[in-house]
Amino acid sequence: MADRKVTTRELNQNAGRVVRSVATSGPVDITYHGEVIARIVPVDGELNSWERLLRNGQVELATQRGEPLPKPIKAPDGRTVAEMVDETRGDH
């Protein structure tokens, strides 16, 4: 959730000011009848998706090392579950 909120009416009347403030101060939530319906966020071409999620507080870095992951389970034909999902999605 963004630190700042703007109503749809305020956005309509002051769109330029709101957009400039996003560029300088970060995300703004847009509300309609008190409910957040949209978010305006600055575009940052220097950050990849993971870095944006981290910067926006949507993910956190691990603070301690967890247990090692188990080996992937394989189907009788030798494919891993990940390989089967990729094939189903057309990612192969």
Residue among 39, 31, 38, 32 nearest 56 (CA): 39
**What per-residue confidence (pLDDT) applies to 35?**
95
The set of residues, in sequence order, having a beta carbon less than 8 Å from that of 11 and lying 6+ positions away, is 18, 30
| CATH superfamily, with its number, for domain 1-59 | YefM-like domain (3.40.1620.10)
**What per-residue confidence (pLDDT) applies to 43?**
79
CA 79 remoteness from chain centre: 31
**What per-residue confidence (pLDDT) applies to 81?**
85
**What per-residue confidence (pLDDT) applies to 45?**
64
**What per-residue confidence (pLDDT) applies to 40?**
93
Q: What does the DSSP 8-state code read for residue 10?
A: H
Digitized pLDDT (tens) for each residue of the chain, 92 residues in all: 678 999 999 999 999 999 999 888 889 999 999 999 999 988 766 777 888 788 888 888 888 788 888 888 888 898 888 888 888 888 65
Strands 4-7 and 28-32: parallel
Query: Could you count the other beta carbons within 10 Å of the beta carbon of residue 40?
Result: 19
Residue ranges of domains in the chain: 1-59
The pTM assigned to this predicted structure is 0.49
